Chains A and B, each alone.
Chain A
Amino acid sequence: MQLSCNKAKGSYAAWYSGLSGGIALLGAMLVLLVTGVIPLAAQERPYFVTYSHEMEEPGNLEIASYNVVGQPRGSNLFLGSNLEFEYGVKAWWTSEFYLDGQSTQNDSTIFTGYRWENRFRPLLSEHFLNPVLYVEYENISADKGLREVVGHDGAADFAEANAIARRGVEREMELKLILGSNFRGWNVSENFVAEKSLAANPWEFGYAWAVSRPLALAAKAQACSLCLEKFQAGFEMYGGLGDRFGFGLHDTSHYAGPTLNWTAPNETTFSFSPQFGLNDYSIPHLYRFAVSWEIEQFLGRFRRGGK
């Protein structure tokens, strides 16, 4: 009993150590931001899973940390993290690279893989409904970042020990059709997801949609940190739609919840969303939080005379 208690304490310490390492990294980046070492600009939507049709501005690099905390029934608490590097290649083409990791209480903290995605906007002007095509390659194992839910993904996937779960490396292609509209300050975004493992697994499907709006539409004349236009609130919902052999809602998980973000001084964006599993197949509660920074004209800084 004493041994198992010590082991649990040790695992918790390891988990806590991994978590505090992540927090220290975030803290260091915050110090850089507050001291103005990294100049920034941002106007992000408060979405965690759903993509809007809005692309990264060409030449800008966004660095973001997306995190989710959850606890499946009868399993250990986990923290899933994605470190995202998003670059605006062209006004109509955005490329992103992710490094993923997770930390599970009473288990371990591990690197779970990487993803590379590209988004293309085929119509070069704004319409009522704006399509964006999304292509992603991912190489992950034991992922708990929950950046998308497809097929029959469910709470049971999160119960496996890391040592076992990481044996199965998933190499997958993911396609998304992103549709977005901006109307009178509101943004409405819908995503249709199709994912195919490069091994023998069948196509899996999912969806995500979200809606958001700034709390004030006009900007204040005076500089302010907590004025309403700096906040965006919204609602997000996503889930799986089965696979090629069992399309539909049977044995699929779904989540929904309100979302909020705040663009802080120095244009750093903090986002938060409590999300709720909508059936027994889902994790009961998820708490998502993110911090994003945008470095303007990133490559220009390395050219002669770049500021």
Chain B
Amino acid sequence: MMRRLILLCWLAGVPLLAAASLPDGSWLGRVPPREHEKVNPYRGRPDAVAAGRRIYQDHCKKCHGEDAEGTGKRPPLRSDVVQKLASDGDLHWLLVNGYMKKGMPSWSKLPDPQLWQLITYLKSLP
């Protein structure tokens, strides 16, 4: 029974770790659990999607592309890392702290509600 449990954990854990260590996903391993579990107060709200789209156009599209498809070395935001692996809290942590070694600046200058609106938009992308 114990062996099966270890095998199950290993099978589930390896893809997660592999994805998290991808060039654009390595930051996931640095998110504190408390941040990971943060709840997006705007989740699912259509007005937040529209507002988040405006924020994206103002601040993000220059690097991540008009449709979040990525440009040059800047990663796409329609990837599995952003859409499936990262929770809303993970994305909030990334936006606040940035990933300066890789060129992603901190967006702590945007107020929290705008960061959550932006995340709501990103998570709404097909």
* A side interface size, CB within 8 A: 34
A180 to B63, CA, bound (A): 26
* B103 CB contact (under 8 Å) in A41, A58, A217, A221: A58
Does the CB pair A43–B62 fall under 8 Å? no
Q: Which of B84-115 touch A at CB < 8 Å?
A: 96-98, 100-101, 103-106, 108-114
Among B63, B106, B110, find the residue whose CB has the most chain A CB atoms closer than 10 A.
Answer: B106
Does the CB pair B103–A182 fall under 8 Å? no
A187 in the interface (beta carbon within 8 A): yes
Does the CB pair B63–A297 fall under 8 Å? yes
A45 to B109, CA, bound (A): 9
Find chain B residues with CB under 8 A from A3 CB: none
- Our count of residue pairs bridging A and B at CB distance below 8 angstroms stands at 80
Find chain A residues with CB under 8 A from B55 CB: 219
A124 in the interface (beta carbon within 8 A): yes
A126 to B110, CA, bound (A): 13
A143 in the interface (beta carbon within 8 A): no
Given A57-B105, A219-B51, A219-B54, the answer on whether A91 and B112 have CB atoms closer than 8 Å is no
**Chain A nearest CB: distance from B104 CB in Å?**
6
Does the CB pair A297–B109 fall under 8 Å? no
**Chain B nearest CB: distance from A101 CB in Å?**
30
Does the CB pair A185–B100 fall under 8 Å? no
Among B48, B58, B100, B110, find the residue whose CB has the most chain A CB atoms closer than 10 A.
Answer: B100
Q: Interface residues of B: mostly helix, strand, loop or mixed?
A: helix
* B50 CB contact (under 8 Å) in A214, A222, A296: A222
A54 in the interface (beta carbon within 8 A): yes
Find chain B residues with CB under 8 A from A223 CB: 54
A218 in the interface (beta carbon within 8 A): yes
Does the CB pair B97–A125 fall under 8 Å? yes
B47 in the interface (beta carbon within 8 A): yes
A203 in the interface (beta carbon within 8 A): no
Among B48, B62, B63, B97, find the residue whose CB has the most chain A CB atoms closer than 10 A.
Answer: B62
Find chain B residues with CB under 8 A from A60 CB: 62
**Chain A nearest CB: distance from B77 CB in Å?**
16
Q: List 8 A-B contacts (CB under 8 A).
A: A43-B59, A60-B62, A91-B106, A185-B111, A185-B112, A217-B112, A219-B117, A221-B48
